[in-house]
Structure 1
Amino acid sequence: MSTVEKQLDDLKAEIAAEIPNDISVSDVTYEGPELVIYTRDPKKFAQNGDLIRTLAGKLRKRITVRPDPDVLARPTDAEAQIRAIIPDEAGVTDLDFHADTGEVVIEAQKPGMVIGRHGSTLREITQKIGWTPEVVRTPPIESATVSNVRNFLKQEREDRREILERVGRQIHREELSDEQWVRISTLGCCREVGRASFILSTAETRILIDCGDKPGAEDEVPYLQAPEANPLNSIDAVVLTHAHLDHSALIPLLFKYGYDGPIYCTEPTRDLMGLLTLDYLDVAAKEGRTPPYESEMVREALKHTIPLEYGDVTDIAPDVKLTLHNAGHILGSAVSHFHIGDGLYNVAFSGDIHYEDTRLFNGAVNEFPRVETLVMESTYGGRNDYQTDQADSEQKLMEVIQETYDRDGKVLIPAFAVGRSQEIMLVIEEAMREGKIPEMPVHLDGMIWEATAIHTTYPEYLRDDLRDRIFHENENPFLSSQFNHIDGGEDERRDVTDDGPSIILSTSGMVTGGPIMSWLEHLGPDPDTTMVFVGYQAQGTLGRRIQSGWDEIPMNGRGGRSDTLSLDLSVETVDGFSGHSGRQGLVDYVRTMNPRPEKVLCVHGDESSAQDLSSALYHKFDMRTFAPKNLETFRFR
């Protein structure tokens, strides 16, 4: 008998000893980090609301209870009873029964009304029909991504269960090493912005954190060939902090080269990763570049993803627990906290963070039980990287929009589809509603509309007051009548060009491809147009060149020839909308961090920014700080 089998037998006996005699346990197994208990008495489990919570606390496991298939009510009977229990106002849109696991997925416009206070409605459903309910939200804006991901995972349930069972056994395997040490190896994004990637190693485990590309430098990828990362199929887990391509673009590539393990991230990060990586392949193909992987690898990545909620402490290896916390950067972005060994060491990876609240998100979390080392972004860590106050930034944007409107022109804003666009949408919607700027069409091109739909699917990840507006006051600002989804391609863009004043938000945010190139062709020669940069423009990108004053830019012409385009539009930069903290926010994040770390590695910033921030933290807080280069390894124990 294997160690895991013996462990499960022991757990089954311990569970049986803890629960009432009239509740049976037919099987106990692992699925990923969760312990799954199968029972012929799901209704009795549901009657005792504290039983699962008590077991989870005693066993220190995440627990799911599932009924044996032969004790379930028939789906037709069960559906009638579910609909009788759930209030009509919940807006149930779909019920999907899975007899193999005894689960019924309930999709509803207001999931909270399906769950009930402290889960009371869910328990009532199980008490009546035996099935285990799982609740998902119906997107207020129809989202092809959310629908496709959910349908794909439904089709792959059998494969996914096999993956989860294999991962569960790997997590709970017997520790083989008597040694204890912790190392971090840098595979990218050190003294540069982009291609984020790190290996966190112990004597027992190797974990890859992020695997992104480098904007404007298609040939510069993380150093996955380094010995610390090889062989890829021996890595225990991948943790994705958020979905921006400089952190996620090459996650699917891992599956092309042999990785077959789990990806841990939040649920919105999973969906956004699918959206952005598929678009990444599409853009590469349109630009005549050979994509680094096929779309099948994106599906493999989705199939291997294990979503976690903020604050859930989760075993991801025999000696590593992971907890994700809000990073305030984009939807689902996470500060990833690793608790290693039995109190041996604690490391937090910030990913990208925004310390202060924004219109979209609550500020980044910086309170942890313990943190000895922080791996921290330094995108705006330079000594002069002090961002404009958000209110001042919004005022400047309104002034630019008003001035452009007065001359009958158009405002063209290149923006990241995820995060920045929604922030700008909220600012514009409020300004028009309050009469601060004239009402005019706001055209959303590229993936912005789809990314916005995903935001409204996961309101629990948005700022508290915005979440309340969307789902408690029925005032969804993203559904404002001013917003127009550009879905008619070039014909619609020409119509917009010929029409009156408007605002255009378009991807890509760094002008490296996508529909922004078409808008430049249409509006670049127009002196009445204003191009407004509201986000970071990396070195080497066309956005940085235009921002720096280039008035003639290369364009890919038809037939493969290279043309140039003369620009006569006005160019403005409005700081303060970044999803990253500025210098002061980064310093404040560390200053107020509880507990304050002993060491900080300053990464994901150009050389001067990383070194400036490292020096500032050292002098202000008397802590050990580093601005590592790529391919360095740090041993902490």
Structure 2
Amino acid sequence: MSSVDKQLEELKAEIETELPSDIVVSDVKYEGPELVVYTRNPKEFAQNGDLIRKLASKLRKRITVRPDPDVLTDPKKAREEVLDVIPDEANVTDLDFHADTGEVVIEAAKPGMVIGRHGSTLREITQQVGWTPEVVRTPPIESSTVSNVRNFLKQEREERRDILEKVGRQIHREQLSREQWVRISTLGCCREVGRASFILSTADTRILIDCGDKPGAEGEVPYLQVPEALGSGANSIDAVILTHAHLDHSALLPLLFKYGYDGPIYCTEPTRDLMGLLTLDYLDVAAKEGRTPPYESEMVREAIKHCIPLEYGDVTDIAPDVKLTFHNAGHILGSAVTHFHIGDGLYNVAFSGDIHYKDTRLFNGAVNDFPRVETLVMESTYGGRNDYQTDQEDSEEKLVEVINETADQGGKVLIPAFAVGRSQEIMLVLEQAMRSGKIPEMPVHLDGMIWEATAIHTTYPEYLRDELRDRIFHEDQNPFLAPQFNHIDGGEEERQEVADEGPCIILSTSGMVTGGPIMSWLRHLGPDPDSNLVFVGYQAQGTLGRRIQNGWDEIPVNDPNDRNSGRASTLSLKMGVETVDGFSGHADRNGLMNFVRTMNPRPEKVLCVHGDERSVQDLSSALYHEFNMRTFAPKNLETFRFK
């Protein structure tokens, strides 16, 4: 008998001693980080809401209770009884029964009403029918991504359970080494922006944090081939952590499965969905540009299948000697500061990922409250000594001013925007400005993936700022449903119609002008001196966006009507070019310093990463001088040992 099987037997015996004699436990299994208890008495479990909580507290494990299949109410009858329990105002759109696990997935427009106060309605459902309810939100804006991910995971349910059981056994395996040490190896994003990737190692465990590409630098990928990473075989990695879905952190995750990785990816639920959206688009763009994609779309599906979503604040075992906790990073939807508790109080490491320290219209500011952190790995995108962003209120006023001036002269405002994060932030600014009369009402056209990304945001309002979440819960106040917003879905023909009409605002991907529909808009509007191109996000070195910012007015574009469209022609850019700081999803120099300043206790060491050479060195020096802590500006392929 393996050590895990022995452990499960002991847990089953301990659970049975804790439960009333009338509750029978038929089986106990690990599924991912959770302990799943199967019982013939699910209704009795549900009658005592404290039972699971007490068990979880005593065993120090996340516990899910499921009914044995042979004690379940017939699905047809159960459907009627479930709908009788749930208030009509919840607006249930789907019920999906899974006899193999005894779960009923309830999709509703208002999940809170299905859950009830402190889970009271969920317990009542189980008391009535025995099934274990799982609740998901019906997207207020139809999202093909959310629908496709949910349907795919439904189809792959059986294989996914096998994956989770395998992962659970890996997490709870016996520790083999008596040594205790912690190492971080840098595989990318050191003294550069992009290709984020790190290995966190202990004597027993190896964890990969992020695996992204580098914007504007084709072929520059993380150093995955080194022995600390895939050089020892893909399955020498125990777990992958994805801090957020932007491609400079996520683009090459599916590549791991091409190389044979078969383990878990821990991320938040919206990060999983956005990663699917962005990586599939990444493959599509590569194909359109005549490049060979690094992996097939099947690998994206494999990555989604292996995702284990975690919520902010949940402390989760991911290895015998590592616990993981996600905290809001304030950067994009679902972005996470990742905190690792290693060993039995041995060491604590936090990776900031990308952070925004202050509240924005879209998100609450980044969390930096941890019980302990000895080492912080911190982004430095705006870490330079002069990298101070304009206050957001001032930024909004400047954007309003540019829009009004452009509208007065009959032009159009073209905003290159990242589909995820900045677009939704700008949408909120525009909706409020039009509602309050600061700018005239005019169409706001959304091109590229922006509408789909917005739909995903409305699916997960619990990840948005408190005030915005409250508005979205009331459909008539959902700002993303304002009538000014128009999704461009008619391609070149619709773009030409927009170009021929009066003043309007256009938000279009790609945010760094590296391809996508923004190139078409430049062809349409670039020669118009009455229109304005407005940058609201970071433009990385080497991108066309940065070059235009720096004064380029002759830019390469492809003409779709030209037979030789594979060759770039040159466009003379006559439209105005403006940069409005303050909308970045990254903290500026003040925000980064304040993130560390307000940590209590502060870390002993900080590794400054994800910034150009000047930025990381400036921030490293400032943290050292102000807080008297050990700081580093590592290069790629360095390893730091902390114990």
TM-score by length of structure 1 reads 1.00
Within the alignment, does 1:570 sit opposite 2:576 as a pair? Answer: yes
Match of residue 177 from structure 2: 177
User: Partner of 2:25: helix, strand, or coil?
Assistant: coil
> Once the two structures are aligned, what percentage of the paired residues are identical?
85
In the aligned structure 2, how far is the partner of 1:126 from the partner of 1:44?
A: 9
- Is residue 608 of structure 2 the alignment partner of residue 608 of structure 1? no
Distance 2:52 2:549 in 1: 57
Residue 505 (structure 2) aligned to one of 503, 506, 512:
503
Q: How far apart are the structure 2 equivalents of 1:556 and 1:186? A: 38
1:213 & 1:561 partners in 2: Cα distance?
A: 25
Shift of residue 556, structure 1, vs aligned partner? 3.3
Offset at residue 233 of structure 1 (A): 1.7
Matched, 1:555 2:557: yes
- Does 2:622 align with 1:620? no
User: How far apart in 2 are the matches of 1:93 and 1:561?
Assistant: 50
Give per-residue Cα distances to partners, 1:542-561, cap 9 Å, x unaligned: 00001111000112354222
Where 1:228 maps in the other structure, the secondary structure is: coil
- 1:199 is matched with 199
1:473 CA drift (Å): 7.0
Alpha-carbon distance between aligned partners in 1 of 2:601 and 2:628, rounded to the nearest angstrom: 14
1:48-85 superposed Cα distances (whole Å, 9 cap, x missing partner): 00000000010011000000000000011000001100
Task: State the partner residue of 2:121.
Answer: 121
Aligned to 2:166: 166
Cα distance between partner residues in 2 of 1:9 and 1:556: 65
Shift of 1:393: 0.1
Q: Distance in 2 between matches of 1:632 and 1:576?
A: 33
Code of the aligned partner of 2:524:
H
Letter in 2 for 1:56: A
Superposition map of 1:236-635 within 5 A: 236-472=238-474, 474-557=476-559, 558=562, 559=564, 560-635=566-641
Measured in 1, the distance between the counterparts of 2:292 and 2:475 equals 48
What residue identity is the alignment partner of 1:596?
Answer: R
Q: What aligned pairs does 1:89-238 form with structure 2 within 5 A after superposition? A: 89-229=89-229, 230=231, 231-238=233-240
Q: Which residue of 1 aligns with 2:13?
A: 13
Q: Which amino acid aligns with 1:604?
A: H
Partners of 1:561 and 1:552 in 2: CA distance: 15
Offset, 1:406: 0.2
In 2, Cα distance between the equivalents of 1:599 and 1:278? 37
Please state how far the C-alpha of 1:475 moved relative to its aligned partner. Answer: 0.4
The Cα of 1:564 is off from its aligned counterpart by: 1.1
What's the secondary structure of 2:285's corresponding residue?
helix
- Distance in 2 (alpha carbons) for counterparts of 1:327 and 1:595: 19
Secondary structure, aligned partner of 1:357: coil
CA distance in 1, matches of 2:541, 2:568: 22
Q: Whole-Å Cα distance in 2 between the matches of residues 388 and 622 of structure 1?
A: 28
Aligned equivalents of 1:258 and 1:73: distance in 2? 41
How many angstroms does 1:228 deviate by?
0.7
Distance in 1 separating the partners of 2:92 and 2:435? 32
Q: How does 1:40-119 map to 2 (within 5 A)?
A: 40-119=40-119
Query: What is the CA–CA distance in structure 1 between the aligned matches of 2:123 and 2:558, rounded to whole Å?
Result: 60
> What is the alpha-carbon distance in structure 2 between the residues aligned to residue 275 and residue 478 of structure 1?
19
In the aligned structure 1, how far is the partner of 2:356 from the partner of 2:342? Answer: 26
The alpha-carbon deviation at position 474 of structure 1 amounts to 3.7
What 5-or-longer segments of structure 2 have no aligned partner? none
For the residues of structure 2 that align with 1:7 and 1:252, how far apart are their CA atoms?
A: 33
Give the distance between the partners of 2:483 and 2:9, measured in 1 at CA: 59
Cα separation, 2, equivalents of 1:422 and 1:547: 22
**Deviation (angstroms), 1:377:** 0.1
Amino acid at match of 2:49: G
Letter in 2 for 1:64: T
- What is the letter of the counterpart of residue 638 of structure 2? E
1:490 is paired with a residue whose SS is helix
Q: Deviations over 1:5-37 (max 9, x none)?
A: 000000000000001000000000000000000
> 1:370 & 1:473 partners in 2: Cα distance?
41
Which residue number corresponds to residue 2 of structure 1? 2
How far residue 562 of structure 1 moved from its aligned partner, in angstroms, is 2.4
The unaligned stretches of length 5 or more in structure 1 are none
* Residues 460-516 of structure 1: CA deviation (Å, up to 9, x unaligned): 000000000110474000000000000000000000000000000000000001000
Distance 1:474 1:70 in 2: 44
Extract structure 1 runs of 4+ deviating beyond 4 A.
none
- Residues matched between the structures, number: 637
Q: Distance in 1 between matches of 2:22 and 2:183?
A: 49
CA RMSD of aligned residues (A): 0.6
Aligned residue for 2:200, secondary structure, equals strand
In 2, the alpha carbon distance for the partners of 1:351 and 1:629 equals: 17
SS where residue 636 of structure 2 aligns? coil
Normalization by structure 2: what TM-score? 0.99
